[in-house]
Structure 1
């Protein structure tokens, strides 16, 4: 069926988006060292994420250290932690709800309730996509702003890490899954398979008699 196929596509996009959010949240590649200007020392490079900061030597050795104090972190990192975790939980919950209300499952047998459940899952996926795009875009804006700031020393300038692009891709996938599912659920709930019946408020008239 076409409805089941669309829902399966949305589930696939949602799972890929959720995996991308988890990767962006866990991997410390939000900010990386920028080798520009006078910063030509390539013996080591730094990598910063939401939870740890790492130093990678040219020999391949890597040393990571957790951030000591939460209150000393920049506001974009504090918001990034909260929003990405909420996005992970919301996307996972929305996918579970979608499985319950999908046409290719029998968790819910009432066909009239399934479009409403799918619509709830669609809204959850849309919110999850927005929640992950906010901290990723915020961090990218700060990195670009500091990179173009002449007052920032060259050794303190950073570039966009791989997790920024992964977060953007995950957000787009979640928004696409939620948008498709939202439009599909609205069309399904708005249409009616049967014919419309019209009733008149006037009193019934007696059948006419033909007299010969």
Structure 2
């Protein structure tokens, strides 16, 4: 129960951090300080571009048309929203299936609901990790490219917050998935020990069992060898009978008649 509570708190904190990045404006930032009077900060996020001057006054402008945006921005928006939605449903399922809430039915049903919550949290964490990693890689590649002549940006605070939140989601959901999976599917995790194998000697054709095993091995002899075994057995039987008869003839002595003294 305490392990479930710790994993749930970790996942919840990661989901809150990922939600906060959607409203954060500093995904990427660029400073222009060539002239003191014209010095300002340029920053942007998923929804708008902003500029701030030295006096602290900022002006933001939303992207004009969704159909005119690049595919990269559409995919990042979709994955960010999907991450938030998965995190919400993961929290709902976790509250239903955890042992401390006692909302669900039997222990097996609660364990399976908790396992579903862990998978949902993991999907949320991976979706967020893809967004922030992809955005950060694009920003880095443009910054180090000498042929990129447009304004170059650096990594903003939202990316680092998103990376931290995604790591919390993935780690918490992985631990929760392991412990809830052991209770949800006990037959797969708690397999019976394998019995030791048997072995057979080629000379006697007998089956010997290793210690601790009760299973016997059936030996199937080909038809070509059965006639040989039968003939060999008959010869051994005949030889034993002849030996017994010879021994019995040697052991029996002739009985002589008694000698009459008068004769």
Pairing 1:163–2:188 present:
no
CA contact (8 A) 1:26 1:50 kept: no
Root mean square deviation, CA, Å? 1.8
Q: CA deviation at 1:74?
A: 2.7
Report the counterpart of residue 62 of structure 2 in structure 1: 66
Match of 2:182 among 172, 187, 193: 187
Q: Within 5 Å, which residues of 2 pair with 1:11-50? A: 11-34=8-31, 40-41=34-35, 43-50=39-46
Report the Cα distance in structure 2 between the residues aligned to 1:166 and 1:68, rounded to whole angstroms: 27
Q: Which runs of 5+ in 2 are unaligned?
A: 193-263
Q: CA deviation at 1:68?
A: 0.9
> Between Structure 1 and Structure 2, whose CA radius of gyration is higher?
2
CA contact (8 A) 2:31 2:40 kept: no
CA contact (8 A) 2:29 2:44 kept: yes
Report the Cα distance in structure 2 between the residues aligned to 1:100 and 1:79, rounded to whole angstroms: 32
Q: Which runs of 5+ in 1 are unaligned?
A: 197-212
Structure 2 length as normaliser, TM-score?
0.67
How many residue pairs align between the two structures? 186
- Which shows bigger deviation, 118-127 or 53-62? 53-62
Match of 2:78 among 73, 82, 85: 82
Report the Cα distance in structure 2 between the residues aligned to 1:80 and 1:25, rounded to whole angstroms: 11
Q: CA deviation at 1:20?
A: 1.1
Q: Deviations over 1:78-127 (max 9, x none)?
A: 11111111110110111110000000012113111111001100100110
Report the counterpart of residue 2 of structure 2 in structure 1: 5
Report the Cα distance in structure 2 between the residues aligned to 1:129 and 1:41, rounded to whole angstroms: 42
Q: CA deviation at 1:41?
A: 4.4
Q: Deviations over 1:43-74 (max 9, x none)?
A: 21111000111111111111111111112223
Match of 1:106 among 102, 105, 111: 102
Structure 1 length as normaliser, TM-score?
0.82
Report the Cα distance in structure 2 between the residues aligned to 1:41 and 1:149, rounded to whole angstroms: 25
CA 1:16–1:156: 2 relative to 1, 3 Å? same
Report the counterpart of residue 252 of structure 2 in structure 1: none
Match of 2:132 among 109, 116, 136: 136
